[in-house]
Structure 1
Amino acid sequence: MRRNKNLEILTLREGSWAIEGAARDIESAEKTAMQFMARPGVMGVRVVKESLKDIRNPSPGDILFEKLRATGNGDQIAVGEIGNTPPVCEDVEELFQGAGRKTINRLFRAYLDKQGVTPTEVMHNAREMKRAMDFQSMLPSAVARVAQLQSRGEDGGDTGTRRDALFGFVEKISERARNAESKKLPSIEKDGINESIERINKSANGEAPGYLFRVAASRDLVGKRNWWDKFATSVGWAEECESDPALANLDWFISDALSNAEVLQDLLGEQESLAGALITLMEIADGVREIDEEKAGNPENVEATALKINKLFRKAKLPESKLAVMDRVCRQLQSSGALTKDKEDEPKVFREMLQKLIPGTELVGGPEMAEAITHRQSHIINKGGEGGLKAATASVLPALRDPGRKAGYLLALFESDLGRSILKDEIEHHLNGLFMTPASVNQIVRSSVAPNKKMEKVTSIFYRIQNSNLPDARKQQLTQHLDELLATYIVDGRILDRVDDPDKPLHIRAFMLVSMCQPEMLPDGKASKLAREIIVKHLRRPNFETELVAQIADPTKKEKILRDFHVQLQRSGFFG
């Protein structure tokens, strides 16, 4: 380590150099200089010797470190837009995982695409990490942008403090990658995925095996600058992988590659419209896309890799990769690009897409998808601004028809940046209209639906509200009203009288009553208490179990019914 009595840190603003700070060693001086680089208006930084007499006219030997912000177009790569405010990472490990890596993918998309590397590769390869850190002013600019976004609002904290924390994360990632650089690790490409995993697990020597596995994978993949080769190799490893933890790590590499437009385009092939492309992407994410198996027989064809990832998606083996695909669907849906060639077909096609995006009380793609749906609807109704977004929210609801789907859309939208900032009152208004104003279950769920399905539907809405980001008092208000409607529905409709009909065999009545107390049928509350009281009354009968199977002749069937009944009682919470 080079040490000096003192080093001065200079910043360049509006063409003039000025002393900004000081440090006692070159490493801390460089780190502080790069933090200054992220500040608005700073066009360059230098670390110079304290003995320098004229900071405006240094000799080459006086300048120990220098970084200048590019001013022309040339090879300048801009930091990408993030979209919604990125979640605050409290620990450096969170940067490796889903939300943190997704933000990195968006920020550095142009750089990553140009260099042919993924975020996971960069963060686990010391040379690539250093190259990214030294590239123009990209890293300081990105850190500054994230710090500013995360510091907004009353609880956001200080921008400078957040910026320092992010630079600290960068340094920790870099140091860990440097430490791993000297480790002898197997080549997955040469030694095979499962043999490599076994060798890494045996020789971890204090470092996390998962981290070392990612280092080894990065060494092989970083040499592949063709995006499809990188993707196909990762998918091939995943197909052969016998270790769930290693497969979870491979999911990171695959999801990173799926953030590249070229990979998705190759996977999609020719599409007639944006709507067709988005529907195909959703089919890919669900693992249900039809693949030409004859073409897939040739490992050189795109279909070979498409078939492999199809199977992995269908088995739910790649959760982060599925999110990456749905993130692209979300971003394209939110854009102003036409879904169809014929503008008149767009509303119909969009309604068909909503069936896939909002199948029930949960949205595919979560809050960001709810926001994208709202923006797309505003394009369709051709209304802009805040008024257009409110009108769009109102006009999406009739297209959903089902109350559970409406609840899912509104509550996911409430959890988005758009919902919290602009549409909060609008969402509250619709929630009241859907679930507070109705005086009966029949006003929420249409009367043609069977009673058990009505109760299940209202119960699913109950749980979605309970698990939402609504304030606790608001959750209580809505769920309590739904519970009271369910209780009234059971009493007024004489549901329990019909279930506990003495003319039916006791074992059938008992199972039906217990089913009323299943979590998916009725929530724990006033409504389920009515059914529980009847069940407890039966259970207290002296010879209940004998009577329960009295009409069953086969001893084996008797034992099975008793066993199944106890399982259902356990599931319904009767045994604590």
Structure 2
Amino acid sequence: MFGKSSTAFEVQVRREGRWVIEASFFEEASALSCARVQMTSGGVEEVKVFKHRSLAGLSLETLVFHKTVPVVKDKPMLLGGTAEGAPVCTGPDGLYSFESRVVINRLLRAFLDKFRITPTELLHSFTYLRKLDEQGILLGAALQAVARHHADLHGFAVPARARELRGFTDVVMTRARDFQAERKRLPAFDPKDLPATSRAIELAVGEARHDAVFLGQLTHHLADRNSLGGKLDLLLDLIDDDSEPRHLALIDGVMADTLGSADVVKDLLGAQPNLAMGLCVLADHILGRDPDPKGEPASALLARVGDLIVHGRTPCCRAVLVDRIRHALNGAQPLDRRDPKKEALLADHLATHLRDGQGRMLGGPDSEKALARRLIRHRQTILREQGMHDIADRLSGR
């Protein structure tokens, strides 16, 4: 009498405050299943399912499902280390230097790991710089740490230096925002022809801006990889025997950024039995020695990086890996957690591996001192186990 009715179900989701129609179904069960899946998707804030029924020219709408996705607050990010080695930048350009990026890698480790980016990507991306700024306390803490480091070494007033550094970061953020607006009008990054890419960039922006734009476009190219190890692989593919020195220098810097992550270095080393063997493998690749055939094999990526280091083509990568060795030696982790009593034997073995053909130790005197301190701590542990606490305490004064 009233004609045939029709029923449909519409799934709507809210992202960043805006409602959109996600999907439509003829079955309620299918619509509800879709809605529940949407609630687990990133960025979804709210989900609704509406039942639409048409009958005799009339349309009836009924809300059958409505859920708000709980907001999970992330724990505040903490600084990943100290500001040791932070150069005294006299302007915003200094923040892009290799030395500054090493410190950024250390201080902002939690932020960089969360978004799986390098310091170079951070400095050239307005999106990530804005996210960092929104963290508030993390950026402020990093700037304060650098300001205190400069105060301790060079006598700066901490509040004034922190304000100055904040001004530099504001300039870097403005540059990144301007580059984001300009990028689509700039020459595209061609990974198969870097010389042509450079020529096109110089023609578009001039030689003075070449490196900044080249790196900006390179970081956009790296966005295709969702891991730092994948980005290192992509960067290695850009290097060949004919690579121009200026391209090699820029790529080396970004590769070194990826090696600033301890997780990346662990992946490169593979399943080494202990810290000592891991450091030996790292030293062998830096110094160009054949790996121990009886040892655990390292990643092929490490072999490629090591080959470039041995031939003097990637000094930044070398510096970061040597610093990684120095940092591990200065740490408190035993050379073999499962058998701390082997500390002296492993330290002697490691000292041999860390020396090059001329007898020079990777990391220089700092590595020598770190190994000596390890031996002293080992002797103290043995003495205390035997009840000779006074003798153990006196060893600290040596």
Same fold, TM exceeding 0.5?
A: yes
Mapped to 2, the partners of 1:204 and 1:84 lie a distance apart of: 36
Alpha-carbon spacing, 1:191–1:315, altered in 2? closer, same or farther (3 Å) = closer
Mapped to 1, the partners of 2:160 and 2:230 lie a distance apart of: 41
Deviations 1:380-419 (A, max 9, x none): 233799965553xxxxxxxxxxxxxxxxxxxxxxxxxxxx
* Contact 1:126 1:174 (C-alpha < 8 Å) held by counterparts: yes
Alignment of 1:50-65 (within 5 A): none
| SS of structure 2 residue aligned to 1:152 | helix
| Map of 1:126 onto structure 2 | 126
Query: 1:123 Cα shift?
Result: 0.5
* Contact 1:357 1:363 (C-alpha < 8 Å) held by counterparts: yes
| Map of 2:380 onto structure 1 | 382
Query: 1:180 Cα shift?
Result: 2.5
Mapped to 2, the partners of 1:206 and 1:223 lie a distance apart of: 27
| Map of 2:212 onto structure 1 | 211
Alpha-carbon spacing, 1:276–1:198, altered in 2? closer, same or farther (3 Å) = same
Tell me, yes or no, if structure 1 residue 309 matches structure 2 residue 305. Answer: yes
Tell me, yes or no, if structure 1 residue 202 matches structure 2 residue 198. Answer: no
| Map of 1:282 onto structure 2 | 283
Mapped to 2, the partners of 1:198 and 1:206 lie a distance apart of: 9
| Map of 2:112 onto structure 1 | 112
More strand by share: 2
Query: 1:366 Cα shift?
Result: 4.3
* Contact 2:85 2:99 (C-alpha < 8 Å) held by counterparts: no
Alignment of 1:7-406 (within 5 A): 74-82=74-82, 84=84, 86-152=86-152, 155-181=154-180, 182-183=182-183, 184-188=185-189, 191-205=192-206, 207-239=208-240, 242-290=243-291, 302-303=299-300, 305-340=301-336, 341-357=338-354, 363-366=361-364, 368-370=366-368, 372-382=370-380, 390-391=397-398
Alpha-carbon spacing, 1:242–1:76, altered in 2? closer, same or farther (3 Å) = same
Mapped to 1, the partners of 2:365 and 2:98 lie a distance apart of: 15
Deviations 1:220-241 (A, max 9, x none): 1134222221110011113366
Mapped to 1, the partners of 2:172 and 2:135 lie a distance apart of: 17
Deviations 1:19-52 (A, max 9, x none): xxxxxxxxxxxxxxxxxxxxxxxxxxxxxxxxxx
Query: 1:117 Cα shift?
Result: 0.6
* Contact 1:105 1:256 (C-alpha < 8 Å) held by counterparts: yes
Query: 1:157 Cα shift?
Result: 2.0
Q: Which moved more, 1:345-354 or 1:268-277?
A: 345-354
1:309 is matched by which residue type in structure 2? V
**TM (normalized to structure 2)?**
0.69
* Contact 1:79 1:142 (C-alpha < 8 Å) held by counterparts: yes
Alpha-carbon spacing, 1:135–1:355, altered in 2? closer, same or farther (3 Å) = same
Cα root mean square deviation, aligned: 3.1
Q: Which has the higher contact order (CA 8 A, sep 6+)?
A: 2
* Contact 1:213 1:246 (C-alpha < 8 Å) held by counterparts: no
* Contact 2:259 2:321 (C-alpha < 8 Å) held by counterparts: yes
* Contact 1:335 1:376 (C-alpha < 8 Å) held by counterparts: no
Alpha-carbon spacing, 1:145–1:115, altered in 2? closer, same or farther (3 Å) = same
* Contact 1:227 1:262 (C-alpha < 8 Å) held by counterparts: no
Query: 1:251 Cα shift?
Result: 0.9
* Contact 1:252 1:321 (C-alpha < 8 Å) held by counterparts: yes
Query: 1:306 Cα shift?
Result: 3.5
**TM (normalized to structure 1)?**
0.49
Alpha-carbon spacing, 1:378–1:223, altered in 2? closer, same or farther (3 Å) = farther
Deviations 1:466-516 (A, max 9, x none): xxxxxxxxxxxxxxxxxxxxxxxxxxxxxxxxxxxxxxxxxxxxxxxxxxx
| SS of structure 2 residue aligned to 1:276 | helix
* Contact 1:287 1:310 (C-alpha < 8 Å) held by counterparts: yes
1:169 is matched by which residue type in structure 2? F
Mapped to 2, the partners of 1:186 and 1:241 lie a distance apart of: 22
Query: 1:112 Cα shift?
Result: 0.3
2:316 is matched by which residue type in structure 1? E
Alpha-carbon spacing, 1:134–1:204, altered in 2? closer, same or farther (3 Å) = same
| Map of 1:20 onto structure 2 | none
Alpha-carbon spacing, 1:131–1:331, altered in 2? closer, same or farther (3 Å) = same
Deviations 1:290-312 (A, max 9, x none): 499xxx9xxxx952x34432321
Mapped to 1, the partners of 2:393 and 2:126 lie a distance apart of: 46
Query: 1:242 Cα shift?
Result: 1.6
* Contact 1:283 1:289 (C-alpha < 8 Å) held by counterparts: yes
Mapped to 1, the partners of 2:134 and 2:74 lie a distance apart of: 17
The percentage of aligned residue pairs carrying the same residue is: 22
Alpha-carbon spacing, 1:135–1:312, altered in 2? closer, same or farther (3 Å) = same
**Aligned residue-pair number:** 311
The runs of 5 or more residues in structure 1 that have no matched partner are 1-71, 392-576
| SS of structure 2 residue aligned to 1:90 | coil
Mapped to 2, the partners of 1:220 and 1:121 lie a distance apart of: 10
Query: 1:377 Cα shift?
Result: 3.4
2:133 is matched by which residue type in structure 1? M
* Contact 2:280 2:354 (C-alpha < 8 Å) held by counterparts: no
Deviations 1:275-297 (A, max 9, x none): 000111112223435499xxx9x
